[in-house]
Amino acid sequence: MPVKIAPSILSADFARLGEEIRAIDAAGADYVHIDVMDGHFVPNLTIGPMVVKALRPHTAKIFDVHLMIEPVDPHIAAYAEAGSDIITVHAEATRHLDRCLQLIRSFGRKAGVSLNPATPECVVEYVLDKLDLILVMSVNPGFGGQSFLPSALEKIAKLRALIGNRPIEIEVDGGVTAENAQSIAAAGAQVLVAGSAVFRTADYRSNIAALR
């Protein structure tokens, strides 16, 4: 199966986000990855639900919304109503992960769990029946432009074995480049999040093609 490419708009030009989303749509992006940071769970502030809602009319592509916020549960409804298709929460940001995933699905959205580099894959073992996506952080979250942590490859492979034949996608975020994409996919990842690797030049189509 070919990998899916999810450009992270964290690396886009924030002064013209609507135009940037239309451009990556035309360039062949599969998902639009939206990083939400709160300045508390991670040391940065980015996008709120009003911005997600404003961007929704610019593309029909899947909005892959990654919530790096704590507490996360009180904000699920706002991001669901703003037009998110996939809502991913950090296992480290909620005390009741099972309940949080149930909440996401109650809005008719796909549910994802993200694991920081130091978080073991066994955290998701008892919620697999409520998951559509597992996001492996291959950098410590909070900033774009970091280098890929090789330890993520072992975690991806272990998750692939744990998932078995369940219809759960493994997504990888952090330091993904055209040079390491093949090894990431070989370990078992199906969705590659890329910020700098897509937006580093104006030729988004070629950059996405290089990742594939």
Kindly list the catalytic residues: 35, 173
Residues β-bridged to residue 191: 4, 171
Of 38, 36, 34, give the one whose Cα is nearest residue 56: 34
> With 0-12 CB in 10 A as exposed, 13-18 as middle and 19+ as buried, what is 103?
buried
Of 138, 194, 132, 136, give the one whose Cα is nearest residue 169: 132
